[in-house]
């Protein structure tokens, strides 16, 4: 071996050895870290029609699961992108049935969520009941109010009716964030305080005020999905004011990246116990309260 080639070879071997050490350390850290429970997952549609994310790299359920594996997300709550973006009751019903099928297939891993649109109130109330009775779902949402052709306020009467139905069936409600005054308005509805209500990714600009509103209602949770929660200090602020038991790991995958959210939580200025609460413990406990447990993997 000529000296130049030998030097190159040694350099290459050294780099490979160093890489192996780093890989082993990362793997050891990953294995010792708690598995993540993600309460905010939007699975892709089987019909190939509706994907999220800017480029849609995870287009099938198999891709979706593979990426969650890469991020160490062991369990989660899945809702259908088709249902979230539905423009008719038929569409949200179809999406919920896909979710039910996949939640059954991956029963050790996912709980299914039932998405409705309160503007179709009759169908929405009936659908929540069916999701609960036929498919054992304990989670309603994520409810969103901003996409066209809707655009409505959470303070509308129909949203209160959805909340009453969720409360009657002892389920949880997951809501895309909104203005603080809308949170307050919904909080006046009958059944609110008896129902776990999870607010997704609080907004930039009104974040502090929203945390302040949530602080007054012990039945509410914040999920740390994409949004202002990725900003330095936001998760720490939420934990300081709500307590770590009311903050849940949510990523909004496939809109956003669960690996990024995980990194954000793991690097937060919090104790190991507080991180464990957020990464998985709170979600397991909340679902167990609603009667949903998971078989061993
Ligand atoms: Zn979402």
Query: How far is residue 224's CA from residue 253's CA, in Å, rounded to a whole number?
Result: 12
Q: What is the pLDDT of residue 297?
A: 56
159 lies in some domain? yes
**Shared domain check, 180 and 217:** yes
CA of 218 to the centre of ligand 1 (A): 23
**Shared domain check, 67 and 185:** yes
pTM, full prediction: 0.86
Element (H, E) at 29: helix 3-32
pLDDT along the chain (297 residues), means of 10: 46 49 47 77 82 76 94 96 91 96 95 96 98 98 85 89 95 90 86 92 84 92 83 92 96 92 94 96 95 79
Q: What is the pLDDT of residue 182?
A: 85
What's the domain count of the chain?
A: 2
Q: What is the pLDDT of residue 151?
A: 82
CA of 296 to the centre of ligand 1 (A): 27
Domain range holding 14?
A: 1-32
CATH number at residue 127: 3.20.20.140
CA of 252 to the centre of ligand 1 (A): 5
119-171 pLDDT, tens digit each: 999 999 999 999 999 999 999 999 998 877 778 888 899 999 999 999 999 99
CA of 42 to the centre of ligand 1 (A): 7
295 lies in some domain? no
- Non-local (6+) Cβ contacts of 219 within 8 A are 192, 193, 194, 195, 196, 197
The token pair that represents 113 in the structure block = 């969520």
Q: Which protein residues have a CB closer than 5 Å to ligand 1 (ion)?
A: 142, 252
**Shared domain check, 227 and 157:** yes
Q: What is the pLDDT of residue 53?
A: 66
Q: What angle do CA 242, 246, 251 make, to 5 degrees?
A: 115
């Amino acid at each position: 071996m000529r000296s130049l080639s030998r030097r190159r070879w040694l350099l290459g071997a050294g780099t490979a050895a160093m890489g192996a050490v780093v890989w082993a350390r990362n793997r050891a850290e990953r294995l010792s870290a708690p598995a993540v429970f993600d309460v905010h997952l939007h699975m892709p549609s089987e019909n190939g029609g509706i994907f999220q994310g800017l480029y849609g790299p995870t287009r099938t359920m198999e891709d979706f699961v593979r990426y969650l594996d890469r991020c160490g997300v062991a369990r989660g709550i899945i809702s259908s992108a088709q249902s979230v973006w539905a423009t008719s009751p038929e569409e949200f019903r179809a999406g919920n049935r896909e979710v039910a099928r996949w939640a059954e297939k991956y029963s050790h891993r996912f709980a299914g969520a039932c998405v409705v649109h309160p503007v179709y109130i009759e169908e929405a109330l009936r659908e929540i009941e069916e999701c609960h009775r036929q498919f054992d779902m304990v989670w309603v949402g994520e409810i969103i109010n901003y996409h066209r052709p809707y655009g409505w306020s959470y303070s509308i009467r129909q949203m209160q009716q959805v909340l009453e139905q969720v409360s009657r069936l002892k389920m949880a409600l997951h809501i895309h964030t909104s203005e603080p005054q809308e949170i307050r308005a919904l909080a006046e509805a009958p059944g609110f305080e008896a129902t776990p209500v999870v607010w997704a990714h609080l907004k930039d600009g009104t974040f502090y005020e929203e945390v302040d509103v949530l602080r007054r209602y012990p039945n509410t949770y914040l999920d740390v999905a994409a949004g202002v929660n990725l900003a330095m200090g936001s998760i720490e602020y939420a934990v300081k004011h709500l307590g770590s038991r009311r903050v849940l790991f949510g990523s909004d995958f496939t809109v956003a990246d669960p690996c990024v959210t995980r990194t954000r939580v793991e690097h937060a200025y919090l104790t190991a116990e507080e991180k464990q609460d957020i990464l998985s413990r709170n979600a397991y406990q909340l679902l167990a309260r609603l009667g949903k447990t998971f078989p061993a993997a």
